Amino acid sequence: MRPFTYAAPGTVAATVTALGGAQPGTRILAGGTTLYDLMKLDIETPPAVVDVHRIAELRTIEAGPRELVLGAGARMADVADHPAVKAAYPGLSESLWRAASQQLRTMATVGGNLLQRTRCPYFRNGPEFPCNKRRPGSGCAAVGGHDRTHALLGGSDACVATYAGDFAVMLIALDAVVDVVGPGGERTVPLAGLHVEPGDDPAREHVLAPDELIVRIRVPATPAGRGSTYLKIRDRESYAFALAAAGVGLAVEADGAVGDCRIGLGGVATRPWRAMEAERILIGRPLTPQSARRAGEAAFAEARAGTENGFRIELGVRTVADALRIAGERATR
């Protein structure tokens, strides 16, 4: 690990001031569960770190009648276990407690979780591999290489790294937004516009400026939130990243037709992915095993398999169909 300077401002306003005058490459430290890892691997080499993890105003959890407001510094474990989150947004709670381990969830923040970096082994395991994300212009070892866990959707010839998070997948399905502050003031970014596909610049992963800080996440209160679930399929049932995941929210009308449907895909795309075409197939019709299967197929219609990851297309289709069944049961309770 290389030497760096450390600052811990006590407020959001002081943090914005510190970031405004910071050296290029300065990083915000929240829970530290990703940044410290990447610094030890020499992937992140910030000259300075601004620590926000003790700022009390970032750690609030407020569930109101219109929306859920999560301070970006709230701990994953605290949000996952919050009674109001479990009751009105069960899929959000599941997306958090199915991530990482209890120890990591106790440290990691929800804001930091959104911006976690890929687990692509070529990216993380050493500079000897070509990796456009780590060393722009060097190539991509995963294209044509070992790509069992790489993305099926949203990739490019320059990068097929999977976005590894779960929470953002459920948030994108529920139309969440993030509020960010920087030297220019505050702005709101929809979850759907926060992350970017790699294109020909895989090093760029989101739309935030280096001096901007996520201060809160807001999730609208909807019937689809109450009928939500997050289903994560992985090589083992704990402490593993998704091979395929689906965050689904459903509302069902009195006549049995689907009134609202939200489908997010995780573990299969280069960013949190919303399957809008699959949603359209279901809205206005009864949910059946056949229609759930058709929605799953629509969600993966544009999937592009590489060398070793093709089996995850069918896995993804089934994951979506199963998640729809679970959400359907919740929505009609």
> Which chain residues interact with ligand SF4 by CB under 6 A?
118, 120, 122-123, 131-133, 140-142, 150, 159-161, 202
70 versus 120: smaller Cβ distance to ligand SF4: 120
Nearest distance, CB of residue 101 and ligand SF4, angstroms? 24
* Distance (Å) of CA 78 to CA 63, 81, 84, 93, 129: 13, 5, 11, 10, 38
Q: How many CB atoms lie within 10 A of CB 191?
A: 25
Helix crossing, 289-299 with 311-331: angle to 10°? 130
> Which residue from 95, 235, 110 is spatially nearest to 166, judged by alpha carbons?
95
Query: What's the CA gap between 266 and 233, in Å, rounded?
Result: 10
Length of the chain: 333
Nearest distance, CB of residue 204 and ligand SF4, angstroms? 12
Nearest distance, CB of residue 40 and ligand SF4, angstroms? 18
140 versus 233: smaller Cβ distance to ligand SF4: 140
DSSP strands (E only) in 47-163: 48-51, 61-63, 67-71
109 versus 132: smaller Cβ distance to ligand SF4: 132
230 versus 273: smaller Cβ distance to ligand SF4: 273
162 versus 229: smaller Cβ distance to ligand SF4: 162
> Which residue from 237, 289, 304, 277 is spatially nearest to 98, judged by alpha carbons?
237
Nearest distance, CB of residue 203 and ligand SF4, angstroms? 9
Nearest distance, CB of residue 150 and ligand SF4, angstroms? 6
